[in-house]
Each structure stands twice: as C-alpha cells, then as structure tokens.
Structure 1
C-alpha cells in the first residue's frame, strides 16, 4: 500500500525581531499543534493540494506563485510536505485574524483553533511534524537574522 501524502502551507510573518508561524490544533488533538495541511487527492499535484487544503482549513486563498521554501518530514504511515508563505504575500490576511487568532467563522470543522505563534515560544507539536517544524523554525531564524 502506498504511503499517505499530506501537503500544506505555513504562513510566517516577521516584525522587528519577532517571527511567527501559523499553526492549527485539530479537533482530534489533545494539546498538540501542527501546520494546516491535508491529504492529496488522486492525481492532484502537491502544490495544488497544499493550496486547496489551506483554503479548506482557513478560508484564506493563497496562490502557489507565492510559495517559498519546501520542507518535508517522512514518517512510517504519512509523509508531510509544507511550503512557507510570507504573510505579506497573502491579500487581506489581517482581515481573517483577531490578535493572531483566526476568527471562528473562518475555522473548518477539522480544527479547534488556528493561530500565530512566536517561533521562540511554540506549543507542543504533533509527532509527525516535529522535525519539520524544527527545520522551519531554524530556517526562519536564519532568514530574520540575515535581513
């Protein structure tokens, strides 16, 4: 049997010395967080899956043209691939949030909460995304320091 492939988007924003990433807590999860992502449909291109899943889980439209670096974590049963997207490249993104938390009217049934976290104060991360989030965090720390 083929391994499940899931793709998604991690929105980030850099303001001054602070970098934040957007994470979600699914309704099934106790207190663990992860990127907004989902399983690809048969014959669906990975970037198209990431764009579709991100929209389904947040109501926010993101063009694949603004996808930046790609990160992947391979796991026993499900591989997870995430593209970074700078919040500056997402039209009207601030309209969807109140104090860094996605408005409940934009939440999908799959998530109990979606919010931005400072990369230096991340919540507990889902096992199948721990290495991936760590790589994203390291990449963004280097990116913000080189500005």
Structure 2
C-alpha cells in the first residue's frame, strides 16, 4: 500500500529563516510608502441563488381569483412585521379605514386620470393657425 508507506515516513523539515526586522521609526522620505488600490463595496444579493430550488415550469394565466388571492406570509415575514397579533391589529385598522371611507363617500386616494378637453380657439386664432399650417406667415 502506497498511502501507508508515505504516512510512515518522517516529515521533512527545512530550516525556516526568521522574517526581516521591521524598523520602529518611520522612513525619512515617503517614496517607499505603498498604497492600496481602489476598494469598492458591493451590495450583497438579497436572496442567494439556489440552483436546487424547485421552479414551477407552469405559469398559469391571471384569472378572476388572482386579484383577491395572496399567499400566506412566511414565518420570517410574520416575525419581521411584529408577530400575528400586530398583523391582526393592522388588518383590523385597514378594514376599519376602508369602512369609514365607504361611509363618508370621500374621493379615493388614488384616482384615475381624466383628460381635459382641448382648448377652444376663437375664430381669429383658428384663422391664424390655418395660415401657419399652410406655411404663410
């Protein structure tokens, strides 16, 4: 067996030279000073890439249940948001806010945009626009 024969040989030791002595006084000139190169701090990825994680190959099309369905929170999300008690309190406050908003009949906080009608031009302005459109000043 080769492995046992190698293990029985004594390790070869070579003489080790001590490191050179470091002077305690700083050098007189700054020519011997070495500087580090540019260092960049890179933001770490939020979620590490897991090559063995299951990826569902089927992506269903959105349907009528997609708007109201939400995945239940993970244990980490529950702990980061203050626990189940705080999540329940926040959900109750949100539902109460929606109810009060519905009772008062106020405008929604997010409203859809409506386009204003084009400006009405006087007869003189229409004539001037037609002249500029023809190329005559």
TM-score, reference length from structure 2: 0.16
Larger Rg over CA atoms: 2
Structure with greater strand percent: 1
Relative CO higher for 1 or 2, CA cutoff 8 Å, sep ≥ 6?
1
